[in-house]
Amino acid sequence: MLRTLRPLRFISHNVAMRLIVGALIESVGSIFNVLIVVAVVYLIFAIVGVSFFGGGFWYCSIDKYTLHNEGQCLKAGGDWENQDHNFDNVSEAMMTLFVVSSLEGWPDIMFYALDFTGPDKGPTYNASPEMMIYFVLFILIGSFFFLNFFIGVLFLEYNKAQREE
């Protein structure tokens, strides 16, 4: 089990690795500040997402584009289901925005929003194309801008550690 710690010896023998690890450790405080800013921006987008899409990602398991409410769906013998990623409350919205910011599977969530017709109503194909702006803004701000923010903080700490060396 102690053999798994062998790569740590590499850090003590290699000056460049020691510099990088030292910069990472020293940047924890700055990264925490960036995380607070990111959390506030996510919270703002989550609240806006709940006000835009709250209760609007429900669909019928039989035919989601023709059965537009729970009564029609249950009458036809289907189940009235909610998407896995939705904006029904702030915590669900934060999780959905995290998935969107990972850039993995975000088009599906955006297409659910494009089909949004209203709370507790089933989707209609491409009913709200203007909702695409919300997702594009979030990806630009939430993913690209803050990713560069993190990299900038790490780069500054690395440069500071390099000057001290």
Strand blocks (E) in 28-107: 58-60, 80-82
Q: Give me the pLDDT at residue 20, please.
A: 77
The reply to whether 19 falls in a domain is no
Q: pTM for the full model?
A: 0.79
The reply to whether 106 falls in a domain is yes
Q: Which two tokens mark 78?
A: 């289907």
Please tell me the distance from the alpha carbon of residue 11 to that of residue 122, in angstroms, as a whole number: 57
Strand partners, 91: none
Query: pLDDT of 139-152, one tens digit each?
Result: 998 888 887 887 88
Query: pLDDT of 8-17, one tens digit each?
Result: 776 677 777 7
Strand blocks (E) in the chain: 58-60, 80-82
What is the domain extent for residue 105?
37-164
In this prediction, residues 36-58 reach a mean pLDDT of: 93
CATH number of residue 149's parent domain: 1.10.287.70
User: Do 138 and 99 meet the contact criterion of CB atoms below 8 Å apart?
Assistant: no
Query: pLDDT of 100-116, one tens digit each?
Result: 988 888 999 999 999 99
> What is the tally of structural domains in the chain?
1
The reply to whether 12 falls in a domain is no
The reply to whether 53 falls in a domain is yes
Q: Give me the pLDDT at residue 46, please.
A: 96
Q: Which two tokens mark 8?
A: 């740590």
